[in-house]
Structure 1
């Protein structure tokens, strides 16, 4: 699953620099995650770093983007091939 930042985000700037895929960006009001770039850190870390640094726990798995481990790893390899990371 890709991750999603909830409306409770306070724009503390902790998550964006931690994202190895550059999937986190400032949206209109809060940080957002590009689901096409989010691999939940698969290919880099054991756990999503944005979740571990979020002080308010407002980053969740996106129920709209259900992806298993293999799919996320495949996305990671495609991003590496396309040199988007």
Structure 2
């Protein structure tokens, strides 16, 4: 994954994060989108509504950066595939 130094991360607009209020999980490239999906459940102190909104931002970023997402909802993350 490409690393963001503190200055570059601070320069990102809120809309470039899955969780903009918390500035968690940047979404500016495919590597960060995949990482945001992998770490989604590690974000603490957010409501289900905030998770729903974050998931929509992740799906939009995934489409933009050519990342395939198999889950339709964040609630499917970590569950065995049927």
Work out whether the TM-score is over 0.5: no
Select the structure that is richer in helix: 2
TM-score (norm 2): 0.32
Select the structure that is richer in strand: 1
